[in-house]
Structures are given as structure tokens and as C-alpha cells.
A = this chain, B = another copy of it.
Amino acid sequence: MSTRAEATRARLQAAALDLFERRGYRAVTVEEIAATAGVSHMTFFRHFATKERVLLDDPFDPVIAEAVAAQPSDLPAIERVARGMLSLTPLLDQEPTESTRRGIAIAAGVPELQAGMAANTATTARAIVDAAAAPGDEAEMRMAAAACLAAITAALLGWAADGPRSTLGDLVAGAMTAVVPHLADAHVPAFAGSPA
């Protein structure tokens, strides 16, 4: 909880983002990032398990899982997931979009980082299954979650490359429409969330 650790972590992330943009992900060593942030490489690895993780940090899983669980349980799994994502689009439009976008833009050019993004979605998919799958439907929910998240990831990569032509929310909505076309005509109420 200490503030000091959080500050170090933030300095490392900022330094990494900066160096990656300037010289490319591969050309930057962990040593350099650590030095720029004024710490040793060991401190870097205490905050981030791998070089990738300094860029791909995503704390959204619990909200997503809740939003999916809140959908009507008589719908097919794929539709529950897609509607859950759609219900989050209003929230997404309030995000600190810029640094997120810089990170994704870097990842868009580096295969290993795209693989890392995909690995993130595996974690998210697990969270969705745990929170929203009916007993016996885990397999279907797992596939549905993987499908929707992959579509969103694909959309994100295009978004970062093309520049911010649309908001994050619109992007996610577009991805869900690509997976479940008839959702284009549906009205999905915004997710309110539960009091923390």
C-alpha cells in the first residue's frame, strides 16, 4: 500500500512508454528503463514480472465479469457476453484514453506484445466464466468470452494504428456488432455496477 512503491511503479511505466515510443520496444532494455526511473533492474522485476507487463497492465476484469453476470441468464452465452460488453461502453468513454492508446499503438507493431494482449484476455475470460457461467455451461461461456474478447482486441489494434477516429466505447460496440450482428438493433441498458 505504501505510496513509495506506487510512485516507483508509475515512474517505471512512464519511462518505459517514453523510451518505447522513441526507440522501439525491442531496442529498449530493462536496464535502461530502470535507470531512467532511477532504480535498479531488480526493482523493475519486482513491480513487473516481465518486460511486457510494464506495458500491458489491465485492471478491468472484475467490472467486466460483473457486467456479464448482470445480463439475463436465459440468453445464449455469446449474447450475454456481448450485451455485457455493450453495457460498459458508457463507462469506457470516460477513461484516461490517451496513455492506454499509446500503449496499444506500441503493441500493435510488436507480435510478442499482441500475444501478451491475448494472454490478458485469457485471464479476463476466466473471470467471466467464474462470475457468469451457469453450472454445466462453462465450456460454452469460455468460448463465447474468448470470441468476444478477441474481437475487441482486434478492434483495439486497428484503433491504435489508424489513430483515434472513434471513442473506445464506439469501438467496443462495433466489435460486438461484428460478432452478434442483430445486436445492432437492440437497446442495451448501461451497466451501473455494484457499490465498491
> Residues of A at under 8 Å CB distance from B?
76-79, 111-112, 114-116, 118-119, 121-122, 125, 139-140, 142-151, 153-155, 158, 174-175, 178-181
Contacts and interface: CB of A to CB of B under 8 A. Distances in A.
Contact of A147 (B111, B122, B151): B151
Given A118-B119, A150-B149, A154-B125, A175 B143 contact: yes
Contact of A142 (B77, B139, B158): B158
A146 B175 CA distance: 10
Contact of A118 (B118, B140, B143, B151): B118
B178 A77 contact: yes
Contacts of A112: 119
Stoichiometry, as copies per complex, reads 2
Pick the 9 closest A-B CB pairs, nearest first: A118-B118, A150-B150, A147-B147, A146-B154, A143-B178, A115-B115, A115-B119, A146-B150, A143-B151
Contact of A181 (B78, B142, B158): B78
A179 B116 contact: no
Given A114-B122, A150-B151, 5 more contacts: A118-B121, A118-B150, A140-B178, A142-B158, A143-B155
A151 B122 CA distance: 11
A114 B155 CA distance: 21
Among A118, A155, A174, chain B packs the most CB atoms within 10 A around the CB of A118
